[in-house]
């Protein structure tokens, strides 16, 4: 009996709730095409086109969603410039009563973002007060053509578009493997 009371005092892992269910609709496996605006990767950088792919999986008993993304970028003449890679972990953080995400990419960037769902849009933003702020927006108004935007704010705090993509949901990797 004493053992049971001691065990009951140990905090337990979170149980995913409706917040994770709401988040999942923004995270299908996808392919995409789109463009990076001139200056979008820094002053003087050219406009580029891009195509990419992303996969998602749940971890820690469904408490977090992990996204793994890779994108090839091209100049106007079709020359391959780079392959960008990103690892994203998003979920509901009960202690902050909100969505939170972390990211790390192959440029050495890492960050933590606060998020919210506003109807058919999922919005994550870097912290207020940072010299350069990022805002990521997923719009699933048309679930067969998800629009993803990356915006930046500097100095005066005005947001401007860096890049925008149209994402097409794909069958999860496990389903693709089962068919082959």
Q: What is the CATH number of the domain that holds 129?
A: 2.40.128.20
Q: Are strands 146-154 and 48-59 parallel, antiparallel or unpaired?
A: unpaired
Domain assignment present for 159: yes
Domain assignment present for 21: no
- What was the pLDDT predicted at 131? 87
- What was the pLDDT predicted at 180? 46
pLDDT tens for each residue of 89-110: 999 999 999 999 999 999 999 9
Of the candidates 122, 137, 128, the residue with the CA atom closest to the CA atom of residue 157: 128
Q: How many domains does the chain have?
A: 1
Domain assignment present for 24: no
Domain assignment present for 35: yes
On the question of pLDDT at 165 being above 50, the answer is: yes
pLDDT tens for each residue of 37-82: 999 888 899 999 999 999 999 999 999 999 999 999 999 999 999 9
Helix (H) or strand (E) holding 5: helix 2-8
pTM of the model: 0.89
Tell me how many degrees the CA angle 164-166-172 measures, rounded to the nearest 5. Answer: 130
Distance CA 46, CA 77 (A): 12
Distance CA 111, CA 86 (A): 11
Strand residues in 60-180 grouped as ranges (E): 64-74, 80-93, 98-105, 110-118, 121-125, 132-139, 146-154, 158-169
Whether 134 and 125 have beta carbons less than 8 Å apart is answered as yes
- What was the pLDDT predicted at 90? 98
Domain assignment present for 18: no
Q: Which domain holds residue 58?
A: 29-179
Domain assignment present for 22: no
Domain assignment present for 11: no
Domain assignment present for 4: no
How much is the mean pLDDT over the chain?
Answer: 92
């Amino acid at each position: 009996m004493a053992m049971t009371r001691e065990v009951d005092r140990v905090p337990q892992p979170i149980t995913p709730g409706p917040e994770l269910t709401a988040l999942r609709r923004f995270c299908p496996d996808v392919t995409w095409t789109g463009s990076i605006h001139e200056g979008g990767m820094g002053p003087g950088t050219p406009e580029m086109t891009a195509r990419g792919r992303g996969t998602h999986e749940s971890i820690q008993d469904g408490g977090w969603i992990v996204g793994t993304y890779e994108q090839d970028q091209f100049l106007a003449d079709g020359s391959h410039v780079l392959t960008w890679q990103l690892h994203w972990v998003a979920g509901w953080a009960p202690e902050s009563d909100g969505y939170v995400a972390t990211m790390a990419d192959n440029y050495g960037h890492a960050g933590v973002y606060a998020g919210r769902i506003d109807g058919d849009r999922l919005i994550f933003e870097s912290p207020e007060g940072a010299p350069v702020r990022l805002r990521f927006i997923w719009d699933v108004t048309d679930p067969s053509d998800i629009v993803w935007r990356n915006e930046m704010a500097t100095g005066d705090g005005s947001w401007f578009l860096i890049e925008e993509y149209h994402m097409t949901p794909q069958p999860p990797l496990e389903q693709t493997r089962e068919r082959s």
